A and B are shown apart, each in its own frame.
Chain A
Amino acid sequence: MSAAAHPTLDPLVMLRALLRGHAAAGGAVANTLRADAFGLVTFGRTDALDLFATHPLLLSATPHVLASSQALAVLDETADGRCIGVFADLADGVIARLWLVAATAADAHCEAAVPVARDDFLSQLRLLCQGDPGDHPCLEAAAWPNVVSLGCDALAAHAGEGQPPAASSSQAVVMRAFSVGDLVAALYSLRVQEYTAPRRAHRRLALATARRDAMGTVVHGRIAISDPLPEPAPVFF
């Protein structure tokens, strides 16, 4: 049974159930669901349900929600006043992928990985926010400058956390973006290069929503930014 087969299934209702680890959510969760949450990554419906059963997240009664046919963006506030975000990819109404933009859990970790040397800019003329509006079919092209400015705001807001960021070497990558009327939502991967020797970088997620006025200016923007995500232990063969 899928949400597509049962259009009365509201993705937000299913999302709430999934975030509490309720098996009932399984009816609207893709078998291949990948969830990035609390500094942990799971793959598959059953592991995602297990993750949220052990780390339940209760959304408030009135979260800020933007929805398109392909995505759901939710901003909410925790009891201690922190702005958190949830972004879900939807495929025919089914939750196909999920990112939680929030604090990391005490048991946060990630798998070891072969380190890869990278140049995120490919030029000395560096873009602080990388992306292309053409990659986001549910985004009105006129909203792209807002997506970029919100990404730069996210980078500036929380980049360093104790360490000054190397401003010209950090970057936001637009992972997802969509707009609904005068509202826009975007999910970012922030790679923050700290201004330290030796150089260190860390990664965060950010979710921004905003309302645009008739001139295209952001009149009300909200941004949730995750804690730094766990860095993989380097694999040396």
Chain B
Amino acid sequence: MSVALPWDQLPAVRSPVGRTAAELLAQRPRRQALPGFDPLYSDIVDYIVRCTHRIWEEKDVGLCRTHYVDSCVMHTLNGPSSGLENVVQGTLAALSAYADRQVIADDVIWSEDSPGMFYSSHRITSRSTLEGTDAAYGQATGRAQMATTVADCVVRENLIIEEWLFRDNARAALQMQQMPGAVARAQAEADCSGDPARHGWRREWMDRVRGFTQIWPDSDHPAHSPARVLHAAWCDDLYGEAASQVSPSIEVLWPTGRNGWGRGYWIGCLMQLRAQLQHFDLAIEHWAARPLPNDEVAVALRWSACGVHSGPGPWGPPTGREILVAGSSHYVLRKGRIVRDQTVFDELAVLRQVHGGLGAAAPAGGAA
């Protein structure tokens, strides 16, 4: 992966970390070359934070039409969605159910991968109340949701071209008083009827992971160490060696409420996932890094992994099904060492596959 701009350039383009709401929303003059972007935006972080605010909080959903290309593809672990009008319709549906959604920008970790072509990994915690109708979680229960999402976007000339969306949906289900296993089972049952070809995207995604040739961040790029650490743990099964590269006081935030401190807990999270998936492959597909306050550095890795569900664990008894997991890991580095790992993937969509949904009904190696 080549970049047009070194990761630590343009320090005036600041992360949202440690900034007040008023400061984030204050309008500023342009301070970064953004060819073809709306003059409203001062820099790429401002573009991401402000357009999200305008669309979700100010309810100008139609701005999607000037911020996404017509042919935009949005990748999720529940399947891809294509076309701008699907983005508009999905946003309207979410807001009609959860109107008071606050979209809090935890961080925006970005890179300029070629001149004018930006990549942004936007970690969001959205807080909302179910006061409308949600197809999955009922009507006006008044229950609050506080789910973390990472939206990775490719942006050019004010338009999002492609997006990968990772949301902690199992946690969201629990907050809605729903059991993720039951929700996933129902989704899987529905997936098993109809044309199975509609799940072909999953096979294609897994084939890409299986055939992936890993290239690495340059050794002087902050993402180098996290990428190597993740690979050492999940691909070489050298968890102790990997952990020796992270802080003994590491803070860990993983999906479905996993939250703890220390190397032992960090190993526990990584090993729990890997122990359930044999014949495991990992693809680290994109990385970016940006400076944080207090001389810290933020790193974002987008990754995909797949393996055969052959070990017991929280997903239930082994099913022999081939499972796809895709997520984003946001790290905080201090003096080059990881002190925080916030990883987001959709564990509800993983469970959906475990229960045979999304085209995973046939065991690995079996008939499609």
Given contacts A174-B249, A237-B315, contact A31 B24 (CB under 8 A): yes
Chain A-chain B contacts (Cβ-Cβ < 8 Å), number: 158
Say whether B249 contacts A114, CB under 8 Å: no
Q: Which of B18, B105, B272 contacts A94 (CB 8 A)?
A: B18
Q: In the docked arrangement, what's the CA distance between A223 and B17, Å?
A: 30
Q: In the docked arrangement, what's the CA distance between A7 and B227, Å?
A: 39
A220 CB within 8 Å of chain B: no
Q: In the docked arrangement, what's the CA distance between A135 and B334, Å?
A: 7
B115 CB within 8 Å of chain A: no
Say whether A118 contacts B260, CB under 8 Å: yes
Say whether B294 contacts A131, CB under 8 Å: no
B16 CB within 8 Å of chain A: yes
A2 CB within 8 Å of chain B: yes
Within 8 A of A (CB), among B293-333: 293-295, 314-316
Say whether A96 contacts B17, CB under 8 Å: yes
Q: Which of A45, A112, A117, A173 contacts B248 (CB 8 A)?
A: A173
A215 CB within 8 Å of chain B: no
Given contacts A137-B334, A236-B314, contact A130 B18 (CB under 8 A): no
Closest to B253 in A: A34
Nearest CB in chain A: distance from B50 CB, A? 13
A172-195 contact mask (Cβ, 8 Å, vs B): 1 or 0? 011100000000000001010000
A132 CB within 8 Å of chain B: yes
Given contacts A111-B171, A111-B175, contact A116 B19 (CB under 8 A): no
Residue from the set B104, B127, B184 with the largest chain A CB neighbour count within 10 Å: B104
Q: Which of A44, A114, A120, A131 contacts B104 (CB 8 A)?
A: A44
B235-272 contact mask (Cβ, 8 Å, vs A): 1 or 0? 00000100100011101000111111111110111001
Residue from the set A26, A31, A115, A235 with the largest chain B CB neighbour count within 10 Å: A31
Q: In the docked arrangement, what's the CA distance between A137 and B249, Å?
A: 14
Say whether A118 contacts B267, CB under 8 Å: yes
Say whether A131 contacts B249, CB under 8 Å: yes
Provide 6 A-B residue pairs closer than 8 Å at the C-beta atoms, listed in order of the A residue.
Answer: A30-B20, A43-B125, A112-B257, A114-B314, A115-B314, A137-B294
Q: For the complex of A and B, list the 8 residue pairs with the smallest distance between their C-beta atoms, beginning with the closest.
A: A91-B18, A113-B257, A91-B293, A237-B181, A120-B264, A116-B268, A118-B268, A118-B264
B interface residue numbers (CB < 8 A to A): 16-24, 102, 104-106, 125, 127, 146, 170-171, 174-175, 179-181, 184, 240, 243, 247-249, 251, 255-265, 267-269, 272, 293-295, 314-316, 334-335, 337, 339, 347, 351
